Structure 1
Amino acid sequence: MKITVVGLGYIGLPTAILFAKYGNTVAGVDLSPVMTANLNAGRIHIEEPGLTEDLQEALALGKFHASTTPVSADAYIIAVPTPNKDDQHKSCDTTYVASALTNIIPLLKKNDTIIIESTIAPRTMADVVQPMIEKAGFTVGEDIYLAHCPERVLPGNIMHELVHNPRIIGGITEKCTEKAAAVYGEFVEGEIIKAQAGEAELSKLMENTYRDVNIALANELAKISNHLGIDALRVIEMANKHPRVNLHQPGPGVGGHCLAVDPYFVIAAAPEQSPLMQTAREVNNSMPEYVVSQVKALMEERDGNRVTIFGLTYKGNIDDIRESPAMEIRDMLVETGLDVKTFDPHVASEVLTGEEACADSSLIVVLSDHSEFREIPATYTDQMRDPIIFDTKNTVKSVASDVTYLNYGNLHQAPKVAVTA
């Protein structure tokens, strides 16, 4: 099968490489000529275990080639970004999806399949994608087959989960669903869940909204517990002993191109029917400011002015800083006048070592749960003016004996009681 994948980011590139690895002829398309040249030379631009090896295997097989323009294929997969619009409810911007469709429409022939992997708002397939194809003179479900097949993978384990996770296939018609299912049948070993397009759209959005709402509950609990002088982490641990309770963990906020973005697509589609989702977004969006308020309070009794941030990515062991609350916190701390140093071994632009970032610092603020941060060596904290750690991810497990370690469990016991944002 000939497959063209438009958009070679965190989802599109692994998807394209897997199709090629399983024997399909794949054209990967992206606007960046530097990126496509690097891919053709076997070099990837994202951090994902196993991806480089699979790319090089696909290249050796002669099954993958990247370019800046699409080529004719039997199936087209669109995996381009869908950011929020700058409107009242931060609705879904389908500009990149529409642009990708515009570029492949001249290549379409009868019996081709078009699959939208990009996360989209409810009714995007029916109200945006289908009209564009029909305007080009095709009958959807007879000439061209359309489906929405959202990804549901965990960064850091994408190559495994793309193969083994259940896959939702939401076609405009039943025949569209069958055609798209046949495409993914090339490599997916997980359950193929056949659905209508609108069901697939909303299902993906609700998966991430569920997590966003539950994280908001944990974040609100952290604020409440700190105010009342109670260990929030101990409360969560005990509550989760109940067989039907699964409280999430609090953190510095919610980031990435899923949880921080997708709930707005549902909110914008039905604002009067989504007050809970809107409140959850407000709670999670408030967390960077809350963290900054705690940092300012902790620094009030320090002689120094330097704060060291550990981690800029939105989650651990990846290089993705999209919508990362850590980036927002860094910028807010700089605006307060603090001298901010950063250390992140997963972000290429960060060049300081742990020792360099900690030199003369009065506080380490852990904002990403990288495995490298589970043990903070004495060689880091020995460089500090005041060896204090505020761990917003509850990821640190070992520190030197002279270090004051704080998290959402004991923040109320800090040398200076933190303020309430």
Structure 2
Amino acid sequence: MGPVYLIGSHMTAFGKRPDMSFKALANEALEGVLADAGFADGNMIDSIWFANSAMGAVGQGSIRGQVSLSDAFADGRLRIGTPVVNVENACASSSTALNGAWKDILSGQSRCVLAMGLEKLFDPAPADDAAKAKALGGFMAGADMLEPRNWIDYYKAVGRDLGVPFEIGPGRSPFMDTYAMQAIWHMRHHGSTAWQLAAAASKAHGLGALNPNAQYRFKLTPDEVLADRPVSGPLTRAMCAPIGDGASAALLVSADMLRGLDRRVRERAVRIRASVLEGGSYRRPDEPGCLERAAQRAFAQAGLSARDIGVVELHDATSFGEIHIPESLGLCAKGAAGPLAEAGETGLHGRLPINPSGGLVSRGHPVAATGLAMIHELTSQLRGEAGPRQVPDPRIALAQNGGGVMGFDEAITSVTLLEAA
């Protein structure tokens, strides 16, 4: 298998963007990724992997990518006949699209592939539109809605063991309740604290304030994080990622195609060293899960180890993600991530820089656009183009993006390893 390179990346601004339609966001992401690669159009693209989770809530199922990119096909920016593969995999949708694009090139069937993630979750319509709310909730479930007792009973059993009742509360996402229970379990078994969660959230908001594409661009102290509105104890609002609108994209090429491109494109290319998807299961809370397996497979695929990682983007749907995910990926020992966050070691100049973009907590979480937004940030870091968020001279970067819930596991997780040219 020959190496695969990323030559273009882009993300739109994330946030509440009622002025932007699905097609407008797709066009913005396409124009941005082509410009980043130095291409006037996308006629060299052999295939497209398009990720979206919630478009069905507005009546567009199945051919979401074809419809969203129809203007580009009509005006010649994309070649008529280019196949579009639609991907829906909860919060890991666009990382799944990247994995598919990568495999397209490895298979030898394509030399240039576009991966794109797109989501619009902010609806300015009246809140009493119950039908739309129900549709959106169904499309965004990310959990077993055929037999919801599977995960509800799982968490209730964990709650009984901890002496903390598991209850799904009104006015908030059930995901926040499951993350809160995981955080409580970690606190009891590995000694993490609410202050460490607050330190991670404070760091995320500080870096998001430096990111012009972030949904939240304000700083918060750990004390302010802890004093924010409670969501599901120990989580406060400032520890939880906001959903919104946005798109992201990456353009991948084979090694032989890269050799024929301009020198500046070759110099800015980023090599994909590994791309792994791993499924979760209803495991015991103390058992290794899909994160551990995915990291092990990715490091083996790339011939690298955790010691090689210079910068990380991970799925902090809540700030608890910055506590348990580095431990599960083997980037630090169990129980060590909380103290690292508290000591500032996950900041730009720390021992393990995590989420220089501001992460989901500050950059925002338009679900199907999140994975490729991580890739965009890490591409910028490896190119030395991240501006005030730049980590000093990273060579290897890791992205972890999860989707859905299977007990204490994600339903699907992605680990991607990138290397500077």
**Same fold flag (TM > 0.5):** no
TM-score by length of 2: 0.28
Q: With a CA cutoff of 8 Å and minimum separation of 6, indicate the structure with the bigger relative contact order.
A: 2
TM-score by length of 1: 0.28
Q: Larger C-alpha radius of gyration, 1 or 2? A: 1
